[in-house]
Amino acid sequence: MKLASRTETRKETVIDLDGVKVGGDKPAIMAGPCAVESREQLMETARAVRAAGATILRGGAYKPRTSPYSFQGLGEEGLKLMAEAREETGLKIVTEMMGLEQMEPVMKYTDIIQIGARNMQNYPLLSAIGELDKPVMLKRGMSATIREWLLAAEYIMNAGNHQVILCERGIRTFSEKTRNTLDLSSIPLVKELSHLPVIADPSHGTGMKKLVAPMSKAAIACGADGLIVEVHPNPEEALSDGSQSLRPEEFQELMQELSLIDSSLGGSGEKILPSAI
Amino acid sequence: MKLASRTETRKETVIDLDGVKVGGDKPAIMAGPCAVESREQLMETARAVRAAGATILRGGAYKPRTSPYSFQGLGEEGLKLMAEAREETGLKIVTEMMGLEQMEPVMKYTDIIQIGARNMQNYPLLSAIGELDKPVMLKRGMSATIREWLLAAEYIMNAGNHQVILCERGIRTFSEKTRNTLDLSSIPLVKELSHLPVIADPSHGTGMKKLVAPMSKAAIACGADGLIVEVHPNPEEALSDGSQSLRPEEFQELMQELSLIDSSLGGSGEKILPSAI
Amino acid sequence: MKLASRTETRKETVIDLDGVKVGGDKPAIMAGPCAVESREQLMETARAVRAAGATILRGGAYKPRTSPYSFQGLGEEGLKLMAEAREETGLKIVTEMMGLEQMEPVMKYTDIIQIGARNMQNYPLLSAIGELDKPVMLKRGMSATIREWLLAAEYIMNAGNHQVILCERGIRTFSEKTRNTLDLSSIPLVKELSHLPVIADPSHGTGMKKLVAPMSKAAIACGADGLIVEVHPNPEEALSDGSQSLRPEEFQELMQELSLIDSSLGGSGEKILPSAI
Amino acid sequence: MKLASRTETRKETVIDLDGVKVGGDKPAIMAGPCAVESREQLMETARAVRAAGATILRGGAYKPRTSPYSFQGLGEEGLKLMAEAREETGLKIVTEMMGLEQMEPVMKYTDIIQIGARNMQNYPLLSAIGELDKPVMLKRGMSATIREWLLAAEYIMNAGNHQVILCERGIRTFSEKTRNTLDLSSIPLVKELSHLPVIADPSHGTGMKKLVAPMSKAAIACGADGLIVEVHPNPEEALSDGSQSLRPEEFQELMQELSLIDSSLGGSGEKILPSAI
């Protein structure tokens, strides 16, 4: 590891999207549905998460589903809806790109390209994205070590793109109740070894709605630069991952609690919540 | 699961040791050396952790070491030193009991009996301890599921002893940098399923000194009823687990940060820190 | 590691129970029910496994069950039935000892003391057994590394008892279909590092009846010194582990296949099958 | 799962490459270097593995390396050397394709396309390969469940390509001595659930040369349809994975042992070894 290493670059990397930052003093909150399903679903969610203080909208247009027979996402149609939501709310957007054939539409619409856990070691994809001028959120692979994860970031950086955000999303263990085991120790460990910002995904990391709030608070308390949280207006009708999605009002409550924890940590004194609240 | 289940008992269990509580509004902080090594080492540590706000002193007299050729602990001599430290500082004490042949000395001196991860499914030991009238801290086994852990508590409770504290100490995964993977999601999950208090051990849970403070904060943020932290006056000379022990001054700093987080969570408004600070 | 190490002792350890051997040229086959349930069940099984070529009868009298409300075994009554079966069939017997309070009855009846996976790091138990003059079968802990397993054997040997048989019984992984993941690579690895005999438990190692035969063959093919296989006359009525138990006729078929594989490996030319067949 | 399921198709799938078969009565042996390094290295290896009885030559031209600074393979140059070796020896060839941009050269030269463990859930790649008319060897992901693995095959089959070979290459566990844990129970389990042929990779599955032979024998004994084994004329000078590569003479010895085991299993009576021996 060279470019991703803290020994190489001592200053924290801050990703700046026209003022919306990931890294630095204030936790960045990304929220939205697992998959974009319809204009109504997305708009309602976007407005709600913006009102609660999120600055980035998440939403999947191309979904990597375990079965070929599951809903695979709306594709470019979903990206257009994301852009529409950005237009209205001012939120930045993050969405997954699964392969190079999706590069053109994804590049056209998104602010941050997400590389999913299943593609963390898809080296041709990493190298290709390394040639773009667009921030990348690189999720940790399901059973990736910290070293492998940082070296995956190194592939992107080595190709020229230094705007990398890391995302801990849980590792696979013997756990039978949670979908994954959210490895929060990776947060301070990555910050020790690297200058890149690192956020947590408590939704995929646990797979259980009731654990999202406590693990979000824990992530911020141990130094995460942000969170990516699944929010859906009707979780029980979601086309994917309903059981781990918060309702808008639950998300708002969580944001209030996060704001208090963040203040207690005293890094910036800045609030997570929007000034309107 | 019957007795340990929240369905059975809706009221949170609070262990009360003459006013020193585990469970309830205020996080209980246990701190001290991995192993009792000498009067000086123990006394110095006990005074320091008490001054910083801990209420319970940890220290191993019988050590379950992977190799038969490693330091095995001072035995009863170590227990006597623990009792002496309690006498002077007013701290309660917690120490591990590895087998029934240690029951007499351990019962004579300790306030809380620790059952280590390696003995979590030592059912004759659990049943025997279930017949005692003394609080028990039951560590999660290295690869125990939540269900197996709670059923181990059930063995103790089924034999009559309902004063059980659970302790998450990290699970074994493929992680190569940390000693274990501290599974903080077990904290809110256990609190969902059971009325028993649950604390976290960030020292064994990570095996890395630099991760102890962030993971302690995360544990409190996600609802842990307390922590058990290794503190040693000279970590580099410790006979066991030096690389994961905090120095007294580092522990004091951590306590200040924990106090702020705890206040921000607003449960009790009570401070973790002693009134003297 | 000293006493268990191949560097220390170059000669293979062979456990000899009046001519019934574990270690050496011919695989030793232990078979029988998970738990002793009744005289009929045990006798029928004992006769059948003997006829098929097994030389050692397995059967649990003290069962380490995850829940305190599950069948815990017949206790000393079960041991007496085991002894009765030995009397009639000439099979040697192996049974689990979970704690020192069971030492007297277990020592009175058994030929080999089994230390279960949950007690692999119960060091007081290992040391106490190390003072006995009776072969010990030490199962690998659910998430024990090879080093930890061999050092557990070292605890027994360091206390004086060098008659240790190791038993691979599967490790805990993310696997959702099998009960455990039988780590057969541990067999040649242990034989590289140690002179102790090592056998495999395909029944607990997989938890699926259909996998018992193929994994038994694989274990012998990669050098295991033997097997311990669960056989039950009526698996669907077994009080524990029915889903992984073979019927007597399935076991007999397996023994024929094993005999052919063993011959093809050509170590001894000796047959696994009894001369009667 | 539909197309990959045994419920759907009861007949075993046999891949037939002009008479060289994978699946069916006789184990198919693939062997060769981890990476193609030079004409000499490849030719020497090809001749040796052919003489010993292998029918398919393995060799990586595009290497998915954890670090971007490691040797990445010879690319198309490597593929040409593979084709040259096929020309001379008559061996079929299998090589990894990491992304669609490599499709043209890989399709031009290879007989079987390998999808590596890191790409097992690269769904756009799986779907694209599903549209080709060329056999595919799909390695199991590092922490893929059996279900996920079979559903990855389903992606390929659902796109039209039914010529899929599965390859167990070890899963990631806590094991510290072996590179991965070769999960041989997946072999009979996959054969129970699916009609697709399944082979084992004891080289990556263990990462230790000394374990390759015993685990190869075990794989055949539990029903694997073949093996893929790393062979290198000078393992200590290999540019990748030298520590797990067999020398040609070690490979030859292994083939003789495999032939005996295969005969003892008696499926076909056919020999693994070439008639010349």
For residue D168, give the amino acid letter. E
Handedness of CA B208, B136, B251, B45 (dihedral sign): negative
pLDDT, tens only, B29-48: 999 999 999 999 999 999 99
CB contact under 8 A, B185 and A215: yes
- Separation CA D17–CA D22 (nearest Å): 8
- The stretch C31-56 carries a mean pLDDT of 97
Work out the angle at residue C89's Cα, subtended by the Cα atoms of residues C86 and C92, and round it to the nearest 5 degrees. Answer: 45
Report whether C44 contacts C233 (CB < 8 A): yes
Structure tokens at D129: 């390969």
What pLDDT does residue C77 have? 98
List the single best residue of C150, C222, C258, C273 to mutate versus D (max D Cβ within 10 A).
Answer: C222
For residue A232, give the amino acid letter. H
In this prediction, the residues of chain A whose per-residue pLDDT falls under 70 are 267-277
Report whether C115 contacts C126 (CB < 8 A): yes
Among the partner-chain residues D102, D124, D143, the one whose CB lies closest to the CB of A99 is D124
Q: Which residues of B touch D174 (CB under 8 A)?
A: 172-174
Q: Is B256 near chain A, with CB under 8 Å?
A: no
Among the partner-chain residues B175, B206, B257, the one whose CB lies closest to the CB of A145 is B175
pLDDT, tens only, C103-160: 999 999 999 999 999 999 999 999 999 999 999 999 999 999 999 999 999 999 999 9
Nearest CA-CA partner of C170 in C131, C124, C202, C145: C202
Q: Is C71 near chain B, with CB under 8 Å?
A: no
Q: Is the pLDDT of residue D276 over 50?
A: no
pLDDT, tens only, C50-84: 999 999 999 999 999 999 999 999 999 999 999 99
Report whether C120 contacts C104 (CB < 8 A): no
- Separation CA B271–CA B130 (nearest Å): 33
Rg (Cα) of chain C, in Å, rounded?
Answer: 17
Residue in C closest to B68 by C-alpha: C155
Q: List B residues 9-68 in contact with A (Cβ-Cβ < 8 A).
A: none
How far the first Cα of chain D sits from its last, in Å, is: 43
List the single best residue of D143, D174, D175, D177 to mutate versus B (max B Cβ within 10 A).
Answer: D174
Q: Which residues of C touch A174 (CB under 8 A)?
A: 172-174
- Separation CA D10–CA D7 (nearest Å): 6
Q: Is the pLDDT of residue B136 over 50?
A: yes
- Confidence class for position C240, pLDDT limits 50, 70, 90: confident
Q: Is B145 near chain D, with CB under 8 Å?
A: no
pLDDT, tens only, B228-275: 999 999 999 988 888 999 999 999 999 999 999 888 887 544 556 664
State the smallest CA–CA distance between residue C35 and chain D in angstroms: 25
Q: Is D185 near chain B, with CB under 8 Å?
A: no
What pLDDT does residue C276 have? 40
The DSSP 8-state label assigned to residue C170 in this structure reads -
Q: Which residues of C touch B119 (CB under 8 A)?
A: 122
Residue in C closest to A179 by C-alpha: C174
- Separation CA C123–CA C100 (nearest Å): 12
Q: Is A274 near chain D, with CB under 8 Å?
A: no
Q: Give chain A's length.
A: 277
Torsion of CA D181, D182, D185, D189, to 10 degrees: 110
Q: Is A104 near chain D, with CB under 8 Å?
A: no
What pLDDT does residue D49 have? 98
CB contact under 8 A, C122 and B124: no
CB contact under 8 A, A192 and B171: no
Q: Is the pLDDT of residue D267 over 70?
A: no
Q: Which residues of B touch D141 (CB under 8 A)?
A: none
What pLDDT does residue A264 have? 84
Bridge partners, residue D57, by sequence: D31, D93
Q: Which residues of C touch B125 (CB under 8 A)?
A: 99
Q: Which residues of A touch B244 (CB under 8 A)?
A: none
Q: Is B190 near chain A, with CB under 8 Å?
A: no
Q: Which residues of A touch C174 (CB under 8 A)?
A: 172-174
List the single best residue of A177, A179, A222, A253 to mutate versus B (max B Cβ within 10 A).
Answer: A222
- Separation CA D187–CA D202 (nearest Å): 13
pLDDT, tens only, D129-151: 999 999 999 999 999 999 999 99
Q: For chain A, give the DSSP string.
A: --TTBTTT--SPP-EEETTEEESSSS-EEEEE-SB---HHHHHHHHHHHHHHT--EEE-BSS---SSTTS----THHHHHHHHHHHHHH--EEEEE--SGGGHHHHHHH-SEEEE-GGGTT-HHHHHHHTTSSS-EEEEPPTT--HHHHHHHHHHHHHTT---EEEEE--B--S-SSSSSB--TTHHHHHHHHBSS-EEE-HHHHH--HHHHHHHHHHHHHTT-SEEEEEB-SSGGG-SS-GGGPBPHHHHHHHHHHHHHHHHHHTSS---SS-TT-
Q: Is B176 near chain A, with CB under 8 Å?
A: yes
pLDDT higher at A69 or B8: A69
CB contact under 8 A, B187 and A214: yes
**Phi and psi at residue A111, to the nearest 5°:** -95, -35
Bridge partners, residue B166, by sequence: B138, B198
Q: Is C172 near chain A, with CB under 8 Å?
A: yes
Q: Are strands C15-17 and C20-22 parallel, antiparallel or unpaired?
A: antiparallel
Among the partner-chain residues D177, D182, D185, the one whose CB lies closest to the CB of C146 is D177
Residue in D closest to B179 by C-alpha: D174
Burial of B269: CB neighbours in 10 Å, binned 0-12, 13-18, 19+ = exposed
Handedness of CA D242, D243, D249, D255 (dihedral sign): negative
Report whether B115 contacts B97 (CB < 8 A): yes
Which secondary-structure segment (H or E) carries B57? strand B56-58
- The stretch C176-187 carries a mean pLDDT of 97
Q: Tell me the three state secondary structure of residue D238.
A: coil
